Every structure is written in C-alpha cells, then in structure tokens.
A and B are shown apart, each in its own frame.
Chain A
Amino acid sequence: MFLLPTSPKAERGTLRKNHMAADDTLAASEDLLFEFFDFFDRTVDDVYSYIKHRTRVPEIAEDITLKLYFSLLQRQRFFWWRNATQLPDLFSLADKSIAGVVQWQEAANGNEYMKEIARYMPGENEEEMMERTGLLLRALKRLPLREQKMAVIRFFLRWPAAKTAELFSMKKDIVEKAYEITLHHFIAQLESESSFKELSVENVLKRIHCGTLSESDKAKMRLIILEKFRAAQMSSLRYVMPVAAFLLVATSITGGIGYGTVNPVSAQSGIRTVAAAQVLLLGEKQDVRDTILSAEKKSRALAAAFVEKDLAHISIDLAKPAVKQQVELEQNVYSTIEKLKKESLLSRAFHKALALMVKAE
C-alpha cells in the first residue's frame, strides 16, 4: 500500500518506479491513474466545497465527492476515447447527487455547518452571529435553484466572473449580470431583517472565507478511491478468470489427447507444398503487379506535384472571363436597383401631382 503524492506530475518519474514495485496490478493503469489524480488534485477543492455548501453536511459532501470521482475514474477506464471530463461536468453530476440529499439528513447533522459559517459573520456575540448565519442560509435556500448555484460559486467558492465565464464557456458580462442578480435577490430578502439593517449584505457575504480540504484529507480520499478502483478491477477478473481458465484447460486437454491419439486424415502437407509452389510460380507476376501499383502511385503523386505550374496558366486564362462575369454581375445588380429607385420616384411624383390636382379641384 502506498500514498499517492500531492502533485503527481512533479514527481512522476520517481513515483512511477515505486508504483511498479509496490503493486504490479496497478502498473498497467498507471497512466490512467496519474492523469486522473492530476485532475483530482486540480479540481477536488472546488468540487468538495461546492457540494458542501449546497448540502451543508460535510460528511455527505465527502461521500458524494468520493462517489463522483470514483465513477469518473471508472468512466475513464472503460470509455477512455471520450473527451476528458471538465469541472462544469463534475458540477452537473454533483447536482444530481445533491438533489437526492433529503432534508432530514441536513437536520441530522446539527448546526456544525452553521457554526463554520457563523465564524465569518459580524456580531457582538455567538448568538447574533448564528442568527445572521441562519437568515443568510435561509435566504440562500429561497433563491431559485440556478441562483443558488451561482451564489455558492460566487460567495462561497469566491470565483471571479472571469473564471466562471471561462469554465462554463459563457460571456463574462453575462456571468457578471448573473452575479449581480443573485446579489440583488439576497439583498431583497435580507434588507428587511432587523439584524441586517445596519449592514451591507454584500460586505457580509464578502467576509465568508471557508477553508478547503486539508492535504491529509485529500490524501485519504485518494487512497479510498485507489483501493476501490483496485477492488473493482479484481472483482471483474474474479468472475472472468475462472471461466476462461476452465475453458482453456478443458480444450487443451481434449485437444491434446485427440492430437496425440487420432491418426490424421490429412492432405495438409500436400496442400501447403502445392501452395508454396503456386506462390513461386506466381512470383514474377506478383513483381510486375507490385511495379504497376507503385508506378500508378508515383505518377499520381508526380502529376499532383506538376499541377502548380499548370494552375498558374489556368489562373491567367480564367482571369479574363471571371473578371468579366464579376463586372457584369455588379453592373446588373446595381442597374436593377437604380431602375427600381427611379420608377419608385416617378410613381411618387405622379401620385403627389395627382393629389395636388384633386385638392385644387
């Protein structure tokens, strides 16, 4: 058993050797694992924080995070040709798991999460800070789902608009607008609360600086994923291997016995010898065939290479009719439009004159 490094990329060379020595089963999947854990290290803080602030239960967040990454690893193992998963994909997978977290689970956790957030709230005493936290979290829950997600990203994960825009392939100004709307909705809900009366909601939200996973927590997660991955690999082999082994042994024994005891009724030697003679007899023709194929290929390549010079001649020859066609096209379109304009002008003048005459009468 071994602990994966915190930055696999940095120490890839030496660690590869250790891995090989430590566990041969995993050696074949090394590249997959290194790529995966590289991605894990880059993203786990954001993913875990996102799930934690959405579920408000750190234990559940940890479980969902582990399941999410494990399923991602399995997916990469079996569907390696697919595009690599990106952070927004993980968030949307997380959303599905979060939707399954029921209210009682949040309640069963007590107020541990609230206490964590309360630390960043302004207030004279713990009671005041907890009250503000409660109001804030309730306001967050009341936001539409899309805005809840946006609020978590902005105020708890503290992503700048540019980062959100880049990761979610959105325009920066759209993200900024979404941020503004979310804040506005927060303010609308909290400004009427007495404990927020003298406070700027925006400034209060800005005070929240939740910590991320510790290095030892991440190492623990890596290990769990790795163990699970190895167990999954073994479990698939567990079913396939005995069947394969049985088939191999059975066919080898029966085939071997038959091979040794049954007198052959065979013309194989003759068929092979005659075929060899045919190969030799056709040898010369085969040489000619190869030469013809090669000559055809070469002449096509050479013809293509000679095209450049010919095309220069063609460009000159086609220039005159092409220019003529373009000039005529431009003239025809503009003349038609001008003609319409003139006819319209005449028609307008005629109608005006007619109107004046009617008026005069």
Chain B
Amino acid sequence: MSMDEEEIRKLFEDPKPASIDMDVIEQAQPESIQSTIESLSAIVNGDRSLQERLSKSGNVQMTASLLQGDNVREITRYIRELMDALREEAITMRQIVLNDVFLSPSVSRLMRKLPQREELIKEAEKGNLVAVQALLPEPSQTLEKRLREVGQYDRLLRQEFPDLFVQKQSLIFPPSAYADETNEDPADAKEGFVDSVFLRKRMEALGIDPRTGLPSLEQDIENLSSRKNTLAGIIGIVESDVGDSLDEAKQGVEEPSTKSLINIMGIFAYIRSTANFDNLEQTYNAAFSRMNTGFGKIQSLFAWGEISPRAEAAGILGADMTAALSSPDLEAKTKAVHTLMDSQEYAVQELLQQLPDEERETYTQNFSRVSDEVDLARNADDLERVIDSYSSALMMLESDARSQQGIMKRMVYGIQDFFGRSS
C-alpha cells in the first residue's frame, strides 16, 4: 500500500505531530503489531539520518518487549516518537533542498541552463518531493563515487580547517552526531547529500579565492624541477621518475581542481614519507644539534629571531671552507673534507695517547680507512656518508679516552663541553 505525495504533505502540514492512538495497538492482533514493529525497525535501520536522530534523542530503544508486542504503552510511545522524528526530518530535508541547494548561488549558477529550473524551485517551495525527484536531472556520476568524494573532501577540510568542525551544527542530524570523528564515507545518499551541503556552505562562508595561492605552488614545483637530481638522491629513485611526477604536478596546477590538487598533495606526501627522506631529516637535526654547545643552545633560546643553521656553520668553518662544501663541484668538496680531517689530526692524536696500545691501533686503522674513503667518494651522497662515519669515530674516541679518567674529571669535562671549551 502506498500513499501519494499529497497525503504525506498533508500529514506534515498538520501542526500536531502525526500520532497513533493506544486503542489501535490494543485492538490489533499480536501478529500485526509484531510485523509492524519489524517493518519499522527495518525502515529505520535503512536510513542513517533517521536512525541517528532517534538514537541521539535518547528516547527510543528497540527493546525485546517491543518486538514481542506485549507492551501496548511502550509500542505506542515508540511509534509516536518515530513519527515525530520523521516529521522533523521531513521538514529539515525540504528546507535543505530548497534553501541550501536550489536557492544557493553556487548551485544556481550550475543549474541556470536546466530547462525545468523554475518548476523545480516551485515544487521545492511547496515541499512536493515526489515532483522534485521527477524533475531533477540524472546524476553525472554514480552514487558510490560521489559518496567517496564527499568522505574524501570531508577529511581534507577537517585537516585543513579544523575550526570549521568545532561548531559543526547539523543540518539534519542532531549536533552531537558529528562529535565522533569518523574516517568513513557517508553511509547513504541522504547523509552524503547533507554532508556535501554542509561542507559547501562552510567553504562559501570562508570566501577563499583559490586562484591566489596557485602561483606560489607553481614556483615550488619549478624549484623542485630544477633540482631533480638532488630530489632523486633523497628519495632513492632515478631522476626520470622524479621528472614524471613533477611534470604531473605541473600539469595539475595548470588545470586546477580539487582532484588534481589532491593528486599533487599525494605526490609530495609520498616523497615526504619515504625512508630516505626521514633519514635526511634525522641526520640533519643530529648534525645541527652537535654543532651547538650546551651553552650555545641556551643562548639560542634568547636570540632575537631565528638563527640560520647554515650561517652558524659558516661562522665555524670560515668563508673558504663554506664555499667549498656548498659548491656543486665534487672535487672541491672532497678537498674541503680532507682539509677538515687534517685540521683535526692533532686533537685525534692527543686523544689516542689516552688509550691503551691495542685500542689505539684499532682507532688509527679506522681513521685511516675513513680518510681513504674520501678519495673513493663518487658523489655528494658518498661524501656525506664518509663524514658521518668520521663524526661517529671522533665521538667514540672521545668517549673511550674519557673513560680512562676518574669520575670527578669526567664531570668537569661535561662542564667544559657545555661552555664550549675544547682543545
């Protein structure tokens, strides 16, 4: 049995909630009641928003006595509350369709060429959803695809504009329904529809002009393209593959859309997540930390403005060494690393004197091997590895030499290190 739209509309126009008398339940056969409750339960379970509305109101619980049909009062209350919830939802849904979709400027612009647009709005104003459904154009994409997109955009906006979701007032769900963070896509068409409207309206309210940020991203991609070689070194893939990815990103910026930009974001997120990228970050941070004495670290806390690590490094190494190590010329770099190691030879020898003969011999061999590896380096990556080994060897030597001293002296060494005194 089905009701036509006119009848449904009349039910919703009634200011009192549609109700059911207790007599109806009392007089009905138990089988009828049971089948009604089962049908209603199935209907509610098939509609996420109605389900949320009912569960969040905290009034309606499907209990065993309801299913058995032996509690007339409870069954009557359940049906009445369901009717109330349905009525509220029906009204909200009609309001969203008319005000937030058909009369919304961004959707109106897209629908301006639709022949039945005027009629559609007229029917939406009347709340005649059956007519609205008939007049709406067929979707250009499948429902599943659209729901996936809504879920994806929802997660994107949550990440980018978390403040938008703090006061997320529901258009159709009670507000608390959104309190739980979810990574799931919308469950059904209605939920996806309402979510998409919510997100769009928030973005409209923000009023961002997306095109203003494009040149800056374009510049970043351009910079990366000119350093394909370095980038390939970081990720550990061949240069041509890096080139392909950057070309794809460049094309995405030329034809910007949410999808193309999410794609670009994915490319960079992938690069950032590679193990080599992570290693680079750790090595750099460790080197930066070693470059500063304890006192220097405290001083930097009170420094006005940010201190550039490279400026500090240049200050320690001097102009010539800085120029050589920063140059793209491998030979200049190699020469600079040799000079650097030679300059530390005296200190190394002094530390070696503190060690027993056997250990001294081992360390001497290690330093000699590291020195040989400098000449064997074929690129900047190899040089980085060599200098990392040298640094480790130096630290171990210092530690072993100090372990030969008494505990009090070792404490004093700690103070000396803190203030930066060194041999």
Q: Chain A: residues with CB nearer than 8 A to chain B?
A: 255, 258-259, 262, 264-289, 291-296, 298-327, 329-341, 343-345, 347-348, 351
Contacts and interface: CB of A to CB of B under 8 A. Distances in A.
Which 6 pairs between the two chains have the least Cβ-Cβ distance?
A258-B412, A305-B210, A322-B193, A321-B189, A303-B261, A296-B268
B184 interface: no
B319 to A, nearest CB: 12
B32 interface: yes
Contact of B387 (A269, A281, A285, A333): A281
Interface stretch (B59-67, B173-181, B297-305, B398-406): B398-406
Contact of A344 (B18, B25, B209, B351): B25
Of the candidates B189, B317, B411, the one having the most CB atoms from chain A within 10 angstroms of its own CB is B189
B287 interface: yes
Given A296-B265, A312-B106, A330-B86, A280 B272 contact: no
Contacts of B281: 289
Nearest to B408: A258
Contacts of B227: 284, 287-288
Contact of A299 (B111, B139, B265): B265
A310 B258 contact: yes
A331 B2 contact: yes
B210 A312 contact: no
A339 B137 contact: no
Interface string B23-41: 1110111001100100110
Interface in B248-304: 249, 256-259, 261-262, 264-265, 268-269, 271-272, 277, 280-281, 283-284, 287-293
A315 B140 contact: no
B54 to A, nearest CB: 12
B238 interface: no
A279 B284 contact: yes
Contacts of B223: 291
A302 B156 CA distance: 11
A289 to B, nearest CB: 6
Nearest to A326: B93
Contacts of A304: 156-157, 160-161, 203
A329 B189 CA distance: 12
Given A307-B258, A318-B193, 9 more contacts: A262-B412, A265-B405, A276-B317, A284-B230, A295-B221, A300-B159, A307-B203, A318-B143, A321-B193
A289 B166 CA distance: 32
B24 A341 contact: yes
Contact of A307 (B199, B233, B347, B408): B199
Contact of B317 (A273, A301, A305, A332): A273
A299 B394 contact: no
Contacts of B284: 278-279, 282, 285-286
Given A274-B390, A298-B220, A281 B280 contact: no
Contacts of A343: 28-29, 32
A282 B384 contact: yes
Contacts of B394: 267, 270-271, 274
B249 to A, nearest CB: 8
Nearest to B12: A330
A314 B132 CA distance: 17
Contact of B256 (A289, A306, A344): A306
A280 B133 contact: no
28 contacts: A264-B413, A266-B413, A274-B290, A279-B309, A279-B310, A280-B313, A280-B322, A282-B384, A283-B310, A284-B326, A285-B233, A302-B214, A306-B257, A307-B258, A311-B150, A311-B196, A315-B101, A315-B104, A318-B139, A319-B101, A322-B189, A322-B190, A322-B193, A325-B189, A329-B43, A329-B46, A334-B3, A336-B43
A264 to B, nearest CB: 5
B413 A299 contact: no
The binding surface of chain B is classed by DSSP as helix
B254 to A, nearest CB: 13
Contacts of B265: 296, 299-300, 303
Contacts of B182: none
B423 interface: yes
A331 to B, nearest CB: 6
A326 to B, nearest CB: 5
Contact of B143 (A291, A321, A323): A321
B213 interface: yes
B216 interface: yes
B88 interface: no
A339 B39 CA distance: 11
Interface string B189-216: 1101110110110011000111001101
B213 A259 contact: no
A278 B423 contact: no
A252 to B, nearest CB: 10
A308 B104 CA distance: 12
B237 interface: no
Nearest to A283: B310
B197 A315 contact: yes
B417 interface: yes
Contacts of B230: 284-285, 288
Interface in B129-153: 129-130, 132-133, 136-141, 143, 146-147, 149-150, 153
Nearest to B391: A274
Contacts of B312: 276, 279
Given A255-B412, A265-B405, A309-B106, A280 B314 contact: yes
B414 to A, nearest CB: 9
B320 to A, nearest CB: 12
A329 B86 contact: yes
Nearest to A300: B265
A259 B90 contact: no
Given A295-B217, A304-B156, A326-B129, A279 B271 contact: no
Contact of B409 (A262, A311, A321, A341): A262
A308 to B, nearest CB: 4
A166 B93 CA distance: 38
Contact of B110 (A279, A313, A325): A313
A266 B190 contact: no
B340 interface: yes
B229 to A, nearest CB: 10
Given A278-B287, A282-B283, A317-B140, A270 B344 contact: yes
A305 B24 CA distance: 55
A33 B138 CA distance: 69
A336 to B, nearest CB: 5
A326 B407 CA distance: 80
A277 B340 contact: yes
Contacts of B149: 310, 314
A331 B421 CA distance: 85
B68 interface: no
Given A299-B261, A320-B137, A340-B36, A283 B412 contact: no
B395 interface: yes
B52 to A, nearest CB: 13
A318 B189 contact: yes
B140 A339 contact: no
